[in-house]
A and B are shown apart, each in its own frame.
Chain A
Amino acid sequence: MTWHVDAEDLRAYSQGELAPPAFWSADTHLVACARCRAALAEVSESVDAGWVRLDAELDAPRPGLVERLLVRFGVADHTARLLSATSVLRRSWLGAVVAVLLMSVVAARSTGSVTLFLVLAPLLPLAGVALSYGPALDPTYEMAVVAPVHGFRLLMIRTVAVLTACFGLSVLASFALPGYGLRALAWLLPALALASAGLALSARLGPLLAPSLVGGAWVTLLWAVHAYDAHATLMPFTVAGQATAAGVAALAAGLLFLVRDRFDHFQGSAV
């Protein structure tokens, strides 16, 4: 071959935009030239892919606010859509979390005691995680549980998102209590312990009973400690208590990993 169809003409040819006589010339040449046919195939594929992408963009409805924010923060679009289906990431739940935190901060500032804040803050991520999955609270649970995406992976994606939101808001609330220094962050390890224990136990007890028991145990523990010595710092917020919470969180995380396959099946009444 003494000549080949140039790239611009090949692109125009693939899109049906190459006019005669250049079209006739290219058409005749392509019959005889394998190299140009291969180049044409490459150009066509890239044009087709471009159309598919454009088509998909034009056809897809505009994502919601949470989804757009997540994508802006670098979350992949498919993960953002999975997260946008997490009911506790909706405005109503986040509004409730903000309200509880505001109330406890106002109480701490007016009474001079940070106890109510420290008691409530660990319960928020526990409740958030509990409300983010399961047959009673996730409307698409039954379809999700038979999907090839592993149930534990889906649970972890949602859990990380819920914990990030709850922890972020609680840390902001802690900044509103500057007089207490690091003590205002003493909710953090108990929160991790409660959330991980709730998840680990839910593999056997179900997504409603397990967090209810863990939350109940937390409130009972604090009540009992307070009844024993009303004037001392509540035990979970002492150094020993924080170390215990860290240990419980680590143990529960290990247990959760061991029982991860249980989240791959329907958790609820099978009949």
Chain B
Amino acid sequence: MTPTVSASGLSLRYGGTRALDDVSLRLSPGVTGLLGPNGAGKTTLLRVLATSVPADSGAFTVLGHDPGTPAGRQEARRRLGYLPQTPGFHPDFTAFEFVDYVAILKEMTDRAVRHREVRAVLDGVDLSDVRGKRVKKLSGGMRQRVALAAALIGDPGFLVLDEPTVGLDPEQRMRFRELIAQAGEGRTVLLSTHQTEDVAMLCHRVLVMAGGRILFDGTPAELTARAAGRVWSSTERDPGAKAGWRTGTGSFRNVGSPPAGAELLEPTLEDGYLLTLDDAEVPA
């Protein structure tokens, strides 16, 4: 199958920071999670793949189009949806007007067709009842859904979501995850997140990134399996553990190299993620 996105050797230096360091990847339909600590380069990678920021070196294609050329960039942009980390809204716009504005930016000039599409995407994110309300009067979860609706305008084949569940309460997060799962049906979604639950619930594939490099590329099960035999329980925090934290039962969950006779626990995706960062000597 031809990948939706194919990138090789992407590098970008910003000031003294190496934001991307020789990143290569291929993305296919479904939701791919991008995990990493703050400053890992996740947002930079998303901005490069969304054609917002050009890489210093390397190349990539989006649905066969090369964003390195003006014509290819425009074609790629016609086929992608982008939800930035902190989507902004014009304060006086209603939900409908905001999505309509983004639809115009996506070259939809026929008013009737555009308005039908705007209504469809707002219905798709369950906002049909509030489409006439000003965005600034909506809750954080609703605003995030308005931004997702805007990203979905034009039925993009490649959807880039930068930490869309940050700041949402657990109920809103669950609702938003359902919408991302729907959006991932039949299209390629790249989802940057801090939440390993997002990846566990939504993604068929996960990338772990730190220091501008991709440290892991595989399935969530493969990431979890990295922690097999390396998670154990103790009554006190084990000083030999790479990381350890008190759980709801009062005991400590430790990851690293377990001492002899330790009570081993079933690993989770979070354990695999922490150990991947630790193996690369990156602070989580």
Contacts and interface: CB of A to CB of B under 8 A. Distances in A.
Interface of A: 49, 52-53, 55-56, 59-61, 63-64, 76-78, 81-82, 84-85, 87, 90, 138-150, 154, 261, 264-266, 269-271
30 contacts: A55-B112, A56-B111, A56-B112, A59-B96, A60-B111, A61-B96, A61-B132, A78-B104, A81-B101, A85-B90, A87-B90, A139-B91, A140-B87, A140-B102, A143-B82, A143-B84, A143-B87, A143-B102, A143-B151, A146-B77, A147-B106, A147-B107, A148-B74, A149-B104, A149-B106, A265-B53, A266-B53, A270-B14, A271-B14, A271-B44
Contacts of A264: 70, 73
B52 A81 contact: no
Interface of B: 12, 14, 17, 19, 39, 41, 43-44, 47, 50-54, 70, 73-74, 77-78, 80, 82, 84, 87-94, 96-98, 100-102, 104-109, 111-116, 119, 131-132, 147, 150-151
Contacts of A146: 50-52, 77, 80, 82
A261 B54 CA distance: 12
B112 A52 contact: yes
Contacts of B70: 261, 264
B101 A85 contact: yes
Given A264-B70, A266-B47, A76 B53 contact: no
Nearest to B128: A59
Most buried by B among A53, A64, A81, A270: A270
A85 B135 CA distance: 13
B52 A78 contact: no
Contacts of B91: 139
Contacts of B116: 52, 55-56
Nearest to B54: A265
Given A61-B94, A61-B132, A139-B90, A76 B109 contact: yes
Contacts of B114: 56, 78
